[in-house]
């Protein structure tokens, strides 16, 4: 039986696949993507690549055929991905997949203002109700997404934010991929478990300003604003309105204490400590 990764052409899926190949034989690995040709380098290592489109549910049952464990990576279609994910869960069940891990968000409760929380909450509920063996990989906010923020802060000397005094434990995408690979190569010990996949440090805006300043050999001051002013500032910097609203919603979630989890999951599942934001920024700022 195969180990299947959906969304394998994305950053997280591809890296999870590469790390999985350090653990298992390539012949056991199936990579599913809308553009499987982009995975030719991994196919050359002996993995199977298959076409699968979350907007074409019929393609997924065939793509997941013969799979035992499926890493279901959330799509980027915010607001319409619940039916995509439900179609994938249904296809996994029809294909005979036994266990599914879904990449979610810490604390996707109804009162979490992050715009992605509803999608994750409803997908989690659908997976748990499916009858499949399930694991929830609730990935914290990516440390890699701090890179453009750090670059802008170092250039201007100011870290503009709307997270108030809130703190969160940003996690490296590399560590999320390593946890996912560990789950794929593992067994029933992960069944019915919810893992908050976080970095090692709970950081506030002042902490980030200090880290950014050190990375850029300059001076950075954190400046808090309300959500409306923060959105306006992002828009003035050229970001699309939907991105501005999304980023502001994450700041509000941090401010409200919804993303203040910190765990040892990376260490426990991979055997090594998670990367810090400072380590993620090395050479990038």
Per-residue pLDDT of 40-99, as tens digits, reads 999 999 999 999 999 999 999 999 999 999 999 999 988 889 999 999 999 999 999 999
Q: How does pLDDT run across 93-148, given as a tens digit for each residue?
A: 999 999 999 999 999 999 999 999 999 999 999 999 999 999 999 999 999 999 99
Q: Number of helices (H) and strands (E) in the chain: give both, helices first.
A: 12, 9
CATH of 2-139+173-197+262-271, one of 3.10.20.90, 3.30.70.1150, 3.40.50.720, 3.40.50.300: 3.40.50.720
The neighbour count for residue 140, using CB atoms within 10 Å, is: 25
pLDDT at residue number 93: 97
Which residues are within 8 A (CB) of 172 and not within 5 positions of it... i.e. 6 or more apart?
Answer: 142, 143, 144, 199, 274, 275, 279, 280
The neighbour count for residue 54, using CB atoms within 10 Å, is: 24
Q: How does pLDDT run across 226-246, given as a tens digit for each residue?
A: 999 999 999 999 999 999 999
How far is CA 197 from each of CA 85, 165, 167, 241, 272, rounded to the nearest angstrom?
Answer: 20, 22, 15, 29, 13
Q: How does pLDDT run across 5-54, given as a tens digit for each residue?
A: 999 999 999 999 999 999 999 999 999 999 999 999 999 999 999 999 99
pLDDT at residue number 231: 97
pLDDT at residue number 79: 83
Q: Which two tokens stand for residue 239?
A: 């970001």
pTM above 0.85, yes or no: yes
């Amino acid at each position: 039986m195969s180990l299947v990764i959906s969304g394998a052409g994305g950053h997280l899926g591809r890296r999870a696949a590469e790390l999985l190949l350090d653990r298992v034989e390539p012949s056991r690995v199936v990579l599913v993507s809308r553009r499987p040709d982009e995975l030719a380098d991994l196919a050359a290592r002996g993995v199977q690549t298959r076409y699968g489109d979350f907007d074409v549910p019929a393609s997924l049952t065939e793509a997941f055929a013969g799979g035992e464990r499926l890493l279901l990576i959330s799509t980027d279609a915010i607001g319409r991905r619940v039916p995509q994910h439900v179609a994938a869960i249904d296809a996994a069940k029809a294909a005979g997949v036994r266990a599914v891990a879904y990449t979610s968000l810490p604390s996707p409760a109804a009162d979490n203002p992050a715009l992605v929380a509803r999608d994750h909450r409803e997908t989690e509920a659908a997976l748990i109700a499916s009858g499949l063996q399930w694991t929830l990989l609730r990935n914290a906010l990516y440390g890699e997404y701090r890179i453009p923020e750090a670059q802008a802060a170092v250039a201007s000397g100011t870290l503009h934010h709307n997270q108030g005094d809130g703190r969160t434990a940003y996690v490296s995408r590399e560590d999320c991929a390593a946890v996912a690979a560990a789950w794929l190569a593992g067994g029933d010990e992960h069944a019915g478990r919810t893992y908050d996949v976080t970095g090692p440090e709970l950081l506030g805006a002042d902490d980030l300003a200090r880290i950014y300043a050190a990375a850029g050999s300059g001076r950075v001051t954190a400046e808090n604003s309300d959500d409306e002013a923060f959105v306006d500032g992002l828009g003035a910097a050229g970001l699309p309105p939907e991105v501005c609203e999304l980023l502001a919603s994450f700041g509000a979630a941090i401010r409200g204490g919804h993303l203040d989890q910190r765990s040892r999951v990376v260490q426990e599942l991979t055997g090594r400590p998670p990367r810090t934001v400072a380590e993620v920024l090395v050479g990038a700022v």
